């Protein structure tokens, strides 16, 4: 078959497209949620959820994916308008004009409900409303098996909102982006499932180290497409937020309160994003390729043995130590035990960078 050639008279505005993509990425927030979202609690891998809660990696979303997220958010108003046209009462914002939000585990877990509705032809009860967009393939699977099987994380999300709000019914609304088909499904509250989700949330928030992997096989389907695959299975090091530091603790009193044992202070949300120079990685986050051999709390350092080279390196602030930001930046972790690298670094008062 002959190759298809682009017509010479078609003028592709590739630079404009690139500018749109760049603007989307530049305008996006950090993606680091202050709480563990109800939308994630239904996922199988607790280690993945722990990485998310501990801000081990910034989401790497390109412009296309950010536009998909924005489309899903815009579709919520379309659903709300459709319900209201059908004579159904819909409440989508509180007195301040914001979506209704809920929290649990001392504010470390939570989420915002799309809406609530009352007056469905099937029932007069109030329903939690959850609204999603689908590709045709995923939409067909949803119709065939129902939301609990097709999208268990969405089902769990609705269980959380029902448990937190006191409602006992939910309305799941899905639209196929390919042909505008709609699927509406009513969900009953499952108190036992809600309790399991709350216990799961508590485990993740209070875990000082990453929970076990869902699989040790890097090609396992849930691992293969996971954002944390390199961190979980390979030699990547996490980013240097306060939440990846061994000095930080999520407290179970207050509202989403974190404390720093090093500085004996509460950690403000914005300050948690970067961490300070005294940052020390939670050792378990480096355990794929490094083993702890010594540590000093007064000296604020941890010494490791690289599992491949058998040589030692330190994470800390002193001259002979590598700061956490350096350990994250360097791709080949064996460089941390290279004597020549260390001599050059100290001789020129330099630092390792990406």
Q: Does some domain include residue 241?
A: yes
Q: How far is Cα 98 from Cα 35, in angstroms, rounded to an integer?
A: 17
Domain boundary among 186, 206, 226: 206
Q: How far is Cα 158 from Cα 136, in angstroms, rounded to an integer?
A: 23
User: Is the domain of 190 the same as that of 283?
Assistant: no
What's 98's domain CATH number?
3.90.320.10
User: Is the domain of 246 the same as that of 192?
Assistant: no
Q: Does some domain include residue 10?
A: no
Structural domain for 244, as ranges: 237-347
User: Is the domain of 171 the same as that of 56?
Assistant: yes
User: Torsion angle, CA of 229/230/234/239, rounded to 10 degrees?
Assistant: -120
User: Is the domain of 55 the same as that of 167?
Assistant: yes
Beta-ladder partners of 249: 259
Dihedral of alpha carbons 337, 338, 341, 344, sign: positive
User: Is the domain of 189 the same as that of 68?
Assistant: yes
Q: Does some domain include residue 22?
A: no
User: Is the domain of 126 the same as that of 49?
Assistant: yes
User: Is the domain of 278 the same as that of 186?
Assistant: no
Beta-carbon neighbour count of residue 195 at 10 Å? 12
User: Is the domain of 41 the same as that of 180?
Assistant: yes
Q: Does some domain include residue 124?
A: yes
Q: How many residues does the chain have?
A: 354
CA angle 323, 328, 333 (to 5 degrees): 95
User: Is the domain of 170 the same as that of 304?
Assistant: no
Q: Does some domain include residue 11?
A: no
**Joined tokens for residue 28:** 């996006």
User: Is the domain of 43 the same as that of 154?
Assistant: yes
Residue 95 gets the label, from left (phi > 0), alpha (psi -120 to 50) or beta, of: alpha
Q: Does some domain include residue 337?
A: yes
Using DSSP's 3-state secondary structure scheme, residue 29 falls into coil
Number of domains in the chain: 2
Q: What is the pLDDT along the chain (354 residues), one digit of tens a residue?
A: 455 656 777 877 888 888 888 887 777 777 788 999 999 999 999 999 999 999 999 887 788 888 887 888 889 999 999 999 999 999 999 889 999 999 999 999 999 999 999 999 999 999 999 999 999 999 999 999 999 999 999 999 999 999 999 999 999 999 999 999 999 999 999 999 999 999 999 999 999 999 999 999 999 999 998 999 999 999 999 999 999 999 999 999 999 999 999 999 999 988 899 889 899 999 999 999 999 999 998 999 999 999 999 999 999 987 789 999 999 999 999 999 988 888 777 777 677 776
């Amino acid at each position: 078959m002959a190759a298809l050639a682009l017509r010479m008279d078609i003028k592709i505005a590739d630079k404009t497209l690139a500018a749109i993509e760049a603007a989307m990425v530049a305008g996006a927030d950090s993606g680091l949620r202050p709480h563990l979202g109800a939308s994630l609690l239904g996922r199988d891998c607790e280690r993945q959820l722990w990485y998310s809660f501990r801000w081990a990696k910034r989401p790497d979303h390109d412009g296309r994916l950010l536009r998909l997220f924005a489309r899903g958010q815009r579709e919520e108003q379309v659903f709300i308008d459709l319900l209201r046209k059908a004579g159904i009462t819909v409440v989508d914002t509180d007195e301040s004009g914001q979506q209704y939000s809920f929290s649990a585990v001392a504010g470390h877990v939570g989420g915002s409900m799309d809406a609530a509705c009352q007056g469905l032809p099937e029932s007069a009860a109030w329903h939690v409303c959850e609204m999603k967009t689908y590709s045709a393939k995923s939409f067909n699977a949803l119709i065939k098996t129902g939301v609990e099987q097709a999208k268990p994380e969405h089902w769990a999300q609705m269980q959380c909102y029902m448990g937190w709000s006191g409602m006992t019914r939910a309305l799941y609304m899905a639209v196929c982006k390919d042909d505008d088909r709609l699927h509406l499904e009513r969900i009953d509250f499952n108190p036992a499932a809600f309790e399991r989700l709350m216990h799961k949330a508590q485990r993740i928030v209070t875990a000082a180290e990453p929970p076990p992997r869902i699989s040790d096989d890097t090609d396992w389907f849930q691992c293969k497409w996971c954002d944390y695959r390199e961190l979980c299975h390979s030699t990547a090091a996490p980013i240097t937020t306060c939440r990846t530091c061994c000095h930080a603790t999520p407290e179970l009193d207050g509202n989403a309160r974190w404390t720093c044992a090093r500085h004996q202070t509460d950690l403000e949300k914005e300050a948690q994003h970067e961490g300070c120079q005294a940052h020390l990685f939670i050792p378990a986050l480096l355990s794929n390729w490094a083993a702890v051999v010594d540590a000093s709390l007064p000296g604020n350092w941890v010494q490791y043995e690289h599992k491949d080279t058998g040589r030692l390196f330190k994470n800390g602030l002193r001259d002979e130590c590598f700061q956490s930001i350096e350990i994250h930046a360097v791709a080949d972790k064996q460089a941390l035990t290279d004597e020549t690298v260390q001599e050059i670094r100290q001789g020129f008062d330099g630092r390792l960078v990406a």
